């Protein structure tokens, strides 16, 4: 007995189902999600963690540098590892921008990438390595443990001019608020992500004006605690080495905690943009909320809010699916 041929309606139904399934597959490939490499490179996250831990054991300043690298990559044109490119097709690379001065630990990302290429060639993006390394840096600094959605791909553009609108330490809260809003980040994100200064150091270059030429007539920023001013000036003497470094979070530079917010409240904030957060009514309220006993009862804390904000930041302008590329070497386009 002959097998009956499928009807035209049945063929259309099968075709429709295939189109829907293909669309859903493309949609899933185009989104970040936790455990993106669980099948394609199961050891990806542990390899990054191992490299970051090893680097940090010999240089305790590495975690802060990697956290800053994540911010500087994402806040320009998205989390696409454009900050790592050495020689773009034309012009100067993004990393040469003045606002990126002092970025370090790019070699840690390179070492993680080299190991990942040995295990899973062409699978793990440099953009994801940066995000994972920042997460591991926070954890190593006794900060919150959080999951990082992955699936980013690497960008194909890196230009010094793209970094021209980076947030600057001398800008007003209003300007910073606007710049963060343009990236989809809220005023609370501004405060919480500024709290990343709980670990690391800054160069005297960034506070020199605040200490000696704050107004047209000279002098220091009057919001600096009088007890703190001589301490800052001794670390960064007028006319001294502008590259000398000092802790961003007085008394707690290697521990990720809310001490940075306490210092800002007390006039012990080191850089100008941090100090200004407590001089603006709307951001002052946010800082004060972390010292409210009712806030702790409700379960909200600086650490938990930071985890939410950095995950949110890590989704800015990401390339997914078939966009961009997976670089073989993080410092160069394929």
Q: Point out the annotated binding site for Ca(2+).
A: 73, 76, 78, 80, 82, 94, 198, 249, 257
Asked if 170 is an active-site residue, the reply is no
Binding residues for heme b are 197
Active-site option among 13, 33, 70, 72: 72
Binding residues for substrate are 167
Please give, one letter per residue, the 3-state secondary structure of the chain: CCCCCCCHHHHHHHHHHHHHHHHHHHHHHCCCECCCCCCCCCCHHHHHHHHHHHHHHHCCCHHHHHHHHHHHHHHHHCCCCHHHCCCCCCCCCHHHCHHHCCCCCHHHHHHHHHHHHHHCCCCCCHHHHHHHHHHHHHHHCCCCCCCCCECCEECCCCCHHHHCCCCCCCCCHHHHHHHHHHCCCCHHHHHHHHHHHHCCEEEHHHCHHHHHECCCCCECCCCCCCCCHHHHHHHCCCCCCCCCEEECCCCCCCCCCCHHHHHHHCCCCCCHHHHHCCCCHHHHHHHHHCCCHHHHHHCCCHHHHHHHHHHHHCCCCCECCCCCECCCECCECC
Asked whether the beta carbons of 114 and 48 are under 8 A apart, the reply is no
Give me the active site residues, please.
72
């Amino acid at each position: 007995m002959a097998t009956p041929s499928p009807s035209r309606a049945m063929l259309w139904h099968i075709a429709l189902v295939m189109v829907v399934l293909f669309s859903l597959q493309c949609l899933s490939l185009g989104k970040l999600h936790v455990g993106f490499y669980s099948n394609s490179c199961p050891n990806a996250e542990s390899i990054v963690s191992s490299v970051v831990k090893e680097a940090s054991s010999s240089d305790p300043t590495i975690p802060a540098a990697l956290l800053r690298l994540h911010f500087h990559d994402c806040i320009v044109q998205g989390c696409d590892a454009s900050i790592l490119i050495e020689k773009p097709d034309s012009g100067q690379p993004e990393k040469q921008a003045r606002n990126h001065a002092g970025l370090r630990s790019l070699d840690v990302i390179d070492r993680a990438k080299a190991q990942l290429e040995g295990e899973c060639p062409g699978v793990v993006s440099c953009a994801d390595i940066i995000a994972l390394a920042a997460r591991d840096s926070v954890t190593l600094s006794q900060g919150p443990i959080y999951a990082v959605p992955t699936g980013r791909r690497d960008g194909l553009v890196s230009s010094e001019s793209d970094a021209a609108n980076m947030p600057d330490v001398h800008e007003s809260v209003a300007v910073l608020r606007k710049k963060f809003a343009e990236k989809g980040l809220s005023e609370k994100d501004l405060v919480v992500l500024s709290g990343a200064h709980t670990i690391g150091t800054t160069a005297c270059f960034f506070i020199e004006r605040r200490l000696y030429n704050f107004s047209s007539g000279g002098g220091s920023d009057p919001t600096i605690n009088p007890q703190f001013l001589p301490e800052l000036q001794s670390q960064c003497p007028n006319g001294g080495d502008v590259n000398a470094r000092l802790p961003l979070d007085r008394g707690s530079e290697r521990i990720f905690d809310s001490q940075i917010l306490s210092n800002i409240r007390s006039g012990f904030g080191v850089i100008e943009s941090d100090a200004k957060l407590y001089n603006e009514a709307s951001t002052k309220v946010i800082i004060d909320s972390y010292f409210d006993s009712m806030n702790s009862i409700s379960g909200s804390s600086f650490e938990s809010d930071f985890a939410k904000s950095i995950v949110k930041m890590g989704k800015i302008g990401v390339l997914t699916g078939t966009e961009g590329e997976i670089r073989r070497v993080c410092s160069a386009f394929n």
